[in-house]
Structure 1
Amino acid sequence: MFYLKTWLGICFLASTICVHAQEKATVDIGGALRFNYNYSSWKEAQKKRGGDLGFDVFRLNAKAKYKGLKLNAEYRFYSEDFGGAMLKQGWIAYDFTKNDELQFGLTQVPFGITTYNSNSWFFSLNYYVGLEDDHDMGIKYTHQGENWDYSFAFFKNAEELRFGSNSDVSNSRYSYDVGSIDLNGDGNLNIRNKEVNQLNGNLSYKIDRANAQHHLGISAQYGGLFNLDTEETGNRYALAAYYELKAGKFGIKAQVANYKYNPENIDGERDDVVAMTAYGAPYLVAAEASIYTLGVSYSIPLEWGPISSVVIYNDFGYMDKAESNFESSMMNVTGALFTAGNIYTYFDLAAGKNQPWLGSEWTNALASGAPDADWEMRFNINIGYYF
């Protein structure tokens, strides 16, 4: 009897320990510190001094998990000129099963190839019009199956930092959203719209072969566009079809996307453009366009000091605007990502035509553009330590 009681006591104690071990919350804190060097063909004084090297971003990441409940947050600190401090993402979630999850908060919009429709530090043209790595406020359900993946989401609005009745969208944000812009420098904002009540659906099919994994998908997005001056709501939509291939060390990302904005602006304001903003500064974007992107990559293992691998890639994007008198925008990035322990370094040669981040024209590059625009080049090195 003594041995039986002892054995039962040990079993009870062991089961109690296991239960508590399963109930124990886990918290992971990480982040990154990144620096950036760039040499730009359109900046004459910068070329004379051999380019510029400076601070890019310091970020903090927090992840937590407890009984199927999860938290994921990333806060970034940029210089004041690039928007200052901002929340890139921040959501809480519940895992119903290992394949089904519900997220709430500032979460990534399920549109097109995710997490990124690109390989380079610059992302693709989709990012600059709010269709790549976009994060909005709402609720999202995701399912990851053996062959089928799908996501459904409702976003009340983009990141809202000002809660007034007539408050314009803040320029301090990571991903591009519809906002407002001062067109003539008089201090008054124009084309004042906000994204509201957005629905998203994303469906993809996976084909897993011995030598290759294929991923085919379609995405749809529909929402409102609330004008702060007329207090009327227009509408907007975006559609995409995409394909991903991973065959050993080789990869392909291909996508076709189309979008259209129908704002209810005040009389006299243009409706062939919308204002979009991120990183502290807005610009104009064509209200309707199709974007074609293609990225290829090849991974090479290395044993070169601390360097363990390099990924070489080329990302190309073409933006065909619906307005016949608008000039197309193009972007191509050829580069390599070197991995050395916790240090990741991007070497990119980025070329752009009517691309605001790759040329002297900022406000109208993604809208009307310039018929005589030249290809501009930017050599960029981004070095980051991730912890």
Structure 2
Amino acid sequence: MTKILKLFYFLGLTFFISLPNHCLSQENQEKEKPKLDLGGAVRFNYINSSWKKEQKAKGGEFGYDMIAIQPKASYKKLSLNAEYRFYSEAFGGSFLKYGWIAYQFNNQDQLQAGLVYVPFGIQQYNSNNWFFNISYYVGLEDDHDMGLKYVHEDENFEYAFAFFKNAEEMQFIGGEENNSSRYAYDIVGRNKETNQINGNFVWKFGGHVDHRLGMSAQLGQLYNLDTKENGNHYALALHYEVYYHEWNFKISLNHVAHNPKNGNASSNDVLQMGAYGAPYEIAADFNIYTLSASRKFDIDWGPLEKIEAYNDFGWMHKKKEEFDSSLMNVIGFKITAGNLLTFVDYAAGYNHSWLGGNFIDDFSTGSPDAKWEARFNINFGYYF
């Protein structure tokens, strides 16, 4: 009898071991399959700029903005998140905005690798409008670099630590300047960002009023192609957000310094930054102060569901006394109608490269004779 029982036990064990290969339920099989979602956006722009006589005479211009493809995938604790954008050749052509692979340790902790979002300042946007705030134009808002990032988020705290080997590299030949055809602003020209570390910490508190008080730090090297030496750069920020019903307020204080090891023929007071295929100069050392306010309104006008009115202000104060400040203010509103988002903005700039004036050195030396210029812009896009 004992031998018979052992035989049945052996047969049962064999059947149990072989069961997953032959008799798994359909539900379990589906859980093992990787998942893939494909999203994206198609956007268009109406523009009327105060400094462009032809544009003003025609009553503005209407054209193509960009097309984006956003693949998302997951398998067990692994996931993929990416976005590739197609602009016109005049705005840099096509490039990867971000793309990373992540491992989810638990509901609160994640490790990301690839072209990841740089944890600095108010996350994810230090602004409400389509143009961003002035911090974007010097690489401090919605920036993405190549590296590793650890992210933690719970009920009371959010923090992230990251190491970035470099900004987006596109050639890997050695000795070449960075290409300015990229989404976010990075240092280009004869210097390159390398070996950068970032930390961002946010404390969340409050009851019916939600507060987010945070600080950020950034430290890295600048490799010079001429001297073959590493300089350095760093940035520090204090930032605060408050949410009260449909109101939101943002404020940030940023200090930034670059110390390149340039050759004798180059000034250490300015650097080149580039994005959208168009490089320009920025001051090496500066402070940036930003202040934003917004209010959401629920509506029921046909397909229209929500309107968000806002004002975003930014001031770039350069350390070198001979350099003139750069300022930016955007007032406007965002309209939501299902997957259709429309930004209606009046963006004004003083010594601002993308808002009139002299494109090359507005964010570096600037000009005390500069005038405020403005661009009325309507951007609408369908996000799927």
Q: TM-score, normalised by structure 1?
A: 0.93
2:99 counterpart residue number: 90
Does the 8 Å CA contact 1:61/1:73 hold for their aligned counterparts?
A: yes
Larger radius of gyration: 2
Query: Could you tell me which residue of structure 2 aligns to residue 346 of structure 1?
Result: 343
**What pairs with 1:49-128 in structure 2 (closer than 5 Å)?**
49-128=58-137
Deviations 1:110-163 (A, max 9, x none): 000011000000001110000000000000000002211110000000000011
Q: CA deviation at 1:15?
A: 7.4
Aligned counterpart in structure 1 of residue 366 of structure 2, from 350, 369, 375: 369
Tell me if the contact between 1:126 and 1:291 (Cα under 8 Å) persists in the aligned partners: yes
Residue 102 of structure 2 contacts residue 111 of structure 2 at CA under 8 Å; is this kept in 1? yes
Write the distance in 2 (CA, Å) between the matches of 1:349 and 1:36.
Answer: 13
Q: Does 1:143 align with 2:152?
A: yes
> Which residue of the partner structure matches residue 186 of structure 1?
none
Deviations 1:170-219 (A, max 9, x none): 11100000001xxxxxxxxxxx100000000011100141x221100000
1:245 aligns with 2:245: no
Does structure 2 conserve the Cα–Cα contact (< 8 Å) formed by 1:162 and 1:168? Answer: no
- SS of the residue corresponding to residue 173 of structure 1 reads coil
Question: In the aligned structure 2, how far is the partner of 1:271 from the partner of 1:49?
Answer: 43
2:161 is the alignment partner of 1:163: no
Distance in 1, matches of 2:307 and 2:194, equals: 41
Please give the alpha-carbon distance, in whole angstroms, between the structure 1 residues aligned to 2:72 and 2:209: 32
Q: Which amino acid aligns with 1:110?
A: P
| Aligned counterpart in structure 2 of residue 273 of structure 1, from 270, 273, 279 | 270
CA 1:14–1:246 in 2, change beyond 3 Å: closer, same or farther? farther
Look up the match of 1:203: 201
8 Å CA contact 1:40–1:378 kept in 2: the answer is yes
Contact 2:357–2:370 (8 Å) recurs in 1: no
Matches within 5 A, 1:276-287: 276-287=273-284
Give the distance between the partners of 1:314 and 1:57, measured in 2 at CA: 25
Q: What runs of 5+ residues in structure 2 fail to find an aligned partner?
A: 1-11
Aligned pairs, how many?
368
User: Paired residue for 1:305?
Assistant: 302
Instruction: Select which of 116, 122, 143 maps to 1:134.
Output: 143
The answer to whether the 8 Å contact 2:351/2:357 transfers is no
- Distance, in Å, in 2 between the alignment partners of 1:193 and 1:162 is 15
How far apart are residue 164 of structure 1 and its match? 1.2
**Segments ≥4 residues shifted beyond 6 Å:** 12-15
| Alignment partner of 1:233 is 2:216 | no
For residue 22 of structure 1, report the CA deviation from its aligned partner: 2.8
Q: Which amino acid aligns with 1:76?
A: R
Structure 1: gaps (5+ residues): 181-191
How far does residue 24 in structure 1 lie from its aligned partner after superposition? 2.7
Write the mapping of 1:176-215 to structure 2, written as runs, cut at 5 A: 176-180=185-189, 192-209=190-207, 211-215=208-212
RMSD of the alignment, in Å? 1.7
> For 1:15-34, what aligned pairs fall within 5 Å after superposition?
16-34=25-43
> Is structure 2 residue 327 aligned with structure 1 residue 318?
no
Matched, 1:221 2:230: no
Match of residue 173, structure 1, among 182, 203, 211: 182
- Contact residue 304 and residue 335 of structure 2 kept, 8 A: yes
Query: What's the CA shift for 1:27?
Result: 1.0
8 Å CA contact retained: 1:238, 1:257: yes
Distance, in Å, in 2 between the alignment partners of 1:381 and 1:148 is: 37
